[in-house]
Amino acid sequence: MEAFRAAGVEGLVVKGASSRYVAGRGWVKYKTRETVEVIAGGVIGPLKQPEVLIAGRYRGSELVQVGRTVPLSPEQSAALGAVLRKAKRDHP
C-alpha cells in the first residue's frame, strides 16, 4: 500500500477470491490513511452548542487553521459543548 500511495492511489477495492462480481455488494473499500495531530483551535457556533470544530496546527509559534469538521450531529454538539470552556486569553 505504501508504494500505491506514493503513486497517488488512495486505496483498493477488494472481494473474496471465490466470489463473483455483483453490482453494489460484496466489495470492500480499503483506503490508506495519513494521520496528523491537530489542536481543536475553535468552533463555529455557540460555545455550548458548537456546529463545526476548527482544527489547527502550530507552524513555528503561530496557530494556523488546517481544517474543519463537517457539521456536528446534535449528539456530538452536546458532548463537545459540555466540555468546552472560553479561552483564558484573547484568541482569534
Q: Is residue 65 part of a domain?
A: yes
C-alpha cell at position 2: 505504501
Q: Are residues 22 and 61 in the same domain?
A: no
Same-domain pairing of 28 and 48? no
Q: Are residues 64 and 22 in the same domain?
A: no
- Taking the whole predicted model, whether its pTM rises above 0.75 is answered as no
**Coil, helix or strand at residue 35:** coil
Contact 53, 80 (CB under 8 A): yes
Domain total in the chain: 2
- Which ranges in the chain belong to alpha helices (H)? 2-6, 74-83
Per-residue pLDDT at 92 exceeds 60: no
Grid cell in block for residue 30: 480499503
Domain containing residue 50: 36-86
Whether residue 1 is found in the same domain as residue 14: yes
Interval 19-23 mean pLDDT: 76
At residue 33 the predicted structure's pLDDT band, cuts being 50, 70 and 90, is: confident
